[in-house]
């Protein structure tokens, strides 16, 4: 019969068994430990290493050179550097910019308006007040205003006094008329006393004196106006004499430039001989008409532009002058097309501004912009007509070819000469024997076309 186990001893024995079991589990297995440690090291390396794909060949070679598998004693092979590819040029971005006149310039007052400082003009307030007066009062008040502002002296301040008097007079009369519909101021003693008390001193003598001064001033103004017009006319004639040589020289220079605008093949024929132009007109009348019409228009417009640019007395009249209207529309069209290209900004940062806006800017505001000067406009006109002439000639020649005409270079129109008529003679018989003669067949001649010869086709 076994004795009962002490609970304390049983608890101590259980704790000892747990400790022994823990020691057995803590004994490492060599193979398991080796595999586990290696796997743990590989996982830790994979977590910390970050792969970066090489961008260029040189970078890829450098990555291989830094690999730990390469022996330290072996020198790394030098990689040949490839020449760097030239970076493609960046396309210049197109930006349509059409600058307007700055607001601070628009707000500036215009000083080019001619004002006659010697001419007196009543203020808007005085004009409004005079419109409320009856005709007799208005005539008197105009003289008082003139005396107050132009003569002065004893008349200084009279305008203000009479303005107050006219207001009081109107109030007095309106009040009496409201009380009596048949009120007559001329028969009212109270009204006569009111006028004697309140009306400022300005009698008939004063009116005549002021009126004479007004007449003299108006006469002086008319004389000065006539004299100024004569002086202006003489100045215009003098400027005309001074500017005409410059204008004629500019027109002659443009004509030299216009000679180079004629198509090369046509120009060679014209200058080939002394009568080259005449021969070209005879041989190519339709092409000559194209050249004649375009050159006439080109010289007409160039002369008009030269006059506008150099003659200060010529103003642009778009409404009544068809040539000015056409040139104004043409310049605006050319500017619109140039602005729409988006390439109006120069390397120095300046931006193209329309001519009509640019020349309104003050000198100190023009450094940010540029515009087409007069020579640029004339050159643009010449090249425009050059392209037009070339296009019209090509269209004409293509139309003639499609119609079946082919131009023979160097062919000159030959006048058709009348052939002499042959008179048939009677045959003369030879009594001596002769061999039989063979009749030669004549080739039929092609009829000549006078129109084609004239056209040179």
Per-residue model confidence (pLDDT) at position 162 = 87
What is the pLDDT at residue 354?
A: 93
Q: Which portions of the chain are predicted below pLDDT 70?
A: 1-8, 10, 12, 18-94, 106-119, 406-457
Does residue 424 sit in helix, strand or coil? coil
Q: Look at residue 420 and give its three-state secondary structure.
A: coil
Render the burial of 148-178: b for 16+ CB within 10 Å, e for the rest: bbebeeebeebbebbbebbeebeebeeeeee
Confidence at residue 260, expressed as pLDDT on a 0 to 100 scale: 85
Give every CB contact of residue 340 below 8 A, 6+ residues apart in sequence: 96
Nearest to 262 by CA among 388, 367, 141, 172: 388
pLDDT of residue 90: 54
pLDDT in the model for residue 111: 44
CB 294 within 8 A of CB 396: no
Phi, psi for residue 369 in degrees, rounded to 5: -130, 170
Give the three-class secondary structure for 17. helix
Burial class (CB in 10 A: 0-12, 13-18, 19+), 319: exposed
* DSSP SS3 for 370: strand
CA–CA distance, 457 with 283 (Å, rounded to integer)? 9
Contact predicate 353/371, CB 8 Å: yes
Number of Cα atoms under 13 Å in the Cβ half of residue 342: 6
pLDDT given at position 163: 86
Contact residues for 62 (Cβ-Cβ < 8 A; gap 6+): 79
Distance CA 298, CA 292 (A): 10
Query: Could you tell me which of 286, 295, 293 has the C-alpha nearest to residue 396?
Result: 286
pLDDT value for 424: 53
Task: Please tell me the distance from the alpha carbon of residue 277 to that of residue 292, in angstroms, as a whole number.
Answer: 11
């Amino acid at each position: 019969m076994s004795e009962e186990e002490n609970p304390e001893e049983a608890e101590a024995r259980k704790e000892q068994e747990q400790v022994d079991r823990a020691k057995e589990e803590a004994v490492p297995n060599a193979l398991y430990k080796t595999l586990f440690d290696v796997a743990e090291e590989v996982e830790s390396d994979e977590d910390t290493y970050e792969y970066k794909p090489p961008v260029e060949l040189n970078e890829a070679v450098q990555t291989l050179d830094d690999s730990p598998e390469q022996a330290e004693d072996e020198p790394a092979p030098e990689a040949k550097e490839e020449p760097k590819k030239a970076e493609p040029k960046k396309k210049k971005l197109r930006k349509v910019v059409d600058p307007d006149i700055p607001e601070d310039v628009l707000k500036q007052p215009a000083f080019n308006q001619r004002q006659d400082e010697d001419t007196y003009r009543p203020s808007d307030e005085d004009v409004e007040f005079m419109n409320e007066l009856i005709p007799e009062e208005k005539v008197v008040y105009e003289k008082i205003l003139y005396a107050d502002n132009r003569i002065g002296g004893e008349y200084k301040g009279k305008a203000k006094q009479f303005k107050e008097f006219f207001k009081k007079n109107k109030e007095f009369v309106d009040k009496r008329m409201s009380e009596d519909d048949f009120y007559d101021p001329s028969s009212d003693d109270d009204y006569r006393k009111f006028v004697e008390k309140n009306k400022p001193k300005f009698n008939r003598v004063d009116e005549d004196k002021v009126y004479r001064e007004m007449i003299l001033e108006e006469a002086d103004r008319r004389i000065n106006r006539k004299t100024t017009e004569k002086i202006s006319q003489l100045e215009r004639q003098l400027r005309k004499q001074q500017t005409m040589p410059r204008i004629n020289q500019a027109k002659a220079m443009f004509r030299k430039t216009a000679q180079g605008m004629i198509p090369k093949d046509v120009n060679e024929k014209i200058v080939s001989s002394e009568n080259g132009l005449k021969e070209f007109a005879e041989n190519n009348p339709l092409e000559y008409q194209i050249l004649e019409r375009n050159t006439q228009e080109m010289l007409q417009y160039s002369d008009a532009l030269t006059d506008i640019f150099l003659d200060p007395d010529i103003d642009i009249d778009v409404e009544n002058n068809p040539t000015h209207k056409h040139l104004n529309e043409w310049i605006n069209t050319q500017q619109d097309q140039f602005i729409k290209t988006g390439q109006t900004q120069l390397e120095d940062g300046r931006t193209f501004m329309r001519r009509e806006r640019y020349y309104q800017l003050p000198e100190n505001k023009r450094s940010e912009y540029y515009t087409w000067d007069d020579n640029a406009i004339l050159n643009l006109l010449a090249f425009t007509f050059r392209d037009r002439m070339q296009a019209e000639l090509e269209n004409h020649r293509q139309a003639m070819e499609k119609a079946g005409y082919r131009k023979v270079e160097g062919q000159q129109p030959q006048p058709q000469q009348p052939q002499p008529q042959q008179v048939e003679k009677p045959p003369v018989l030879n009594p001596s024997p002769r061999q039989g003669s063979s009749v030669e067949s004549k080739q039929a001649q092609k009829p000549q076309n006078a129109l084609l010869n004239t056209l040179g086709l």
